[in-house]
Amino acid sequence: MHRITFVLGLSALMVALVACDLAPTPRAVPTFAPRATSTPVSAGGKGGIVRVTRGSLHQTITARGRVNSVRESYLFFNIAGTISKISVAAGDQIKQGAPIAQLDAFAIEQDINLAKYEAERADLLAKQQQARVASYDYRIESAASQYTRYIEIKDAAFQAYRQKAPTPADHGRATVEYERFLRAEADALRTAAELNTYKSDRQIYQLDADLYVKLFQYHKGRAETLQARLKDAKLVAPLNGLVVSIDKNEGDPVRAFEPIGAIADPAQLQIEVSVPEENILAIALGQATRIILDGFPDREFSGKVKEIATKAAIFQGKNVYRVLIAFENMSQVPATLRMGADIAFVLQAKDDVLLVPTNALVPDGLQRYVTVLRNGKPERVLVQVGANGGNQTEILAGVVEDEQIVIP
């Protein structure tokens, strides 16, 4: 009785341990930085048994990438300030022109009011001075007319005096004309002095008017500039899309053009990959790729290389080239942004070849072995390998189709 209980207990413990081994491991959260990619195990895990199959093999180069949008934009203010309001959150779907965030604009609004007041004041003073200038235009015109008339009277009186007093002896008979000449001459001199004063005063008032006009233009322009700054204090969506991130909080100071988040169009996705320099010569425009998204490990998507950088960048101390991949059927791709992805660049396709899981191969120097079940017993068999397709490898000799192989 005790023995049966012990056996049952041991069996329950083994079942529990197996259940623990089979429990699914939670997937890591996708990140921006590429990470090392291992070849996934297909057709049987460690210690499993698989058959040699015949099929197609795609020789590949694998890399790590992430999903981004063809239309993606950073969010930033054109001016510095303190964020007073944030109207959206990451994950919100918004339309172009919708409000995203607002800077504290109290000081700008006060400066706008002051600039408008100074502009109106300068405009009023300019108009007052222009009115004075206009009044002096009338005075100058009147004085100039009087001066001309006095000169004519003076000339006429002098001519009359000369006619009546051609000699000094006749002077007494022309005294009246001479006095009229003297009065006209005095009036002409007085009017000339007034005319000069009017012209001088008009010039001063004109200078004042010009100055106030310039002040008006300055304050008006300043008000317009401040209005533009006030507009820049409001951040709106540059396109229809999904708010990918908001990296600031209300009350945070920001510099001009400092990114506070990002927005992207989830309907137009692509894959961005950093390819090591030693592999870049094997990558070509239009080359086929296979894509596995982190969030959808059981689905495979097709893509093609659409862009290859002409210059290398430095990543983790190595030269890498930025490669962009377009999905072949965008309608089948989930609306995911910034999700990690495993990429396989297809180099060569071979049909009707013998295939074994790559992890079934055991290296021994320059040779490769597999463990084959023959007559129910494991047997180490030397094989000749061909092309490597990542999780599967071509076998040229050593085993035949349908033979059973043990995964070590």
CATH fold of 107-232 reads Helix Hairpins (1.10.287)
Using only C-alpha atoms, the chain has a radius of gyration, in whole angstroms, of 48
Sign of CA dihedral 373, 378, 384, 385: positive
Q: What pLDDT, on the 0 to 100 scale, is given for residue 74? A: 93
345 phi and psi, to 5 degrees?
A: -85, 120
Can you tell me the distance from the alpha carbon of 113 to that of 245, in angstroms, rounded to the nearest whole number? 36
Can you tell me the distance from the alpha carbon of 228 to that of 77, in angstroms, rounded to the nearest whole number? 12
Give the tens place of pLDDT for each residue, 158-214. 888 778 776 666 666 677 778 888 888 898 899 899 889 989 999 999 999 999 999
Can you tell me the distance from the alpha carbon of 235 to that of 97, in angstroms, rounded to the nearest whole number? 9
| Average pLDDT of the chain to the nearest whole number | 84
Which pTM value belongs to this model?
A: 0.54
How sure is the predictor about 36, in pLDDT bands with cuts at 50, 70 and 90? very low
Least confident of 44-53, 283-292, 347-356: 44-53
Say whether pLDDT at 55 is over 70: yes
pLDDT, greater one: 267 or 36:
267
Give the tens place of pLDDT for each residue, 59-105. 788 899 999 999 989 999 999 999 999 999 988 999 999 999 999 99
Residue 397's DSSP bridge partners are 384
Q: What pLDDT, on the 0 to 100 scale, is given for residue 89? A: 93
Angle at 65 between CA 61 and CA 70, to 5 degrees: 120
Say whether pLDDT at 38 is over 80: no
CATH fold of 41-70+268-406 reads Elongation Factor Tu (Ef-tu); domain 3 (2.40.30)
How sure is the predictor about 112, in pLDDT bands with cuts at 50, 70 and 90? very high
Say whether pLDDT at 20 is over 70: no
Q: What pLDDT, on the 0 to 100 scale, is given for residue 308? A: 95
Can you tell me the distance from the alpha carbon of 404 to that of 48, in angstroms, rounded to the nearest whole number? 10
Extents of the domains making up the chain:
41-70+268-406, 76-96+236-260, 107-232
Stretch 367-386: mean pLDDT: 91
Say whether pLDDT at 13 is over 50: no
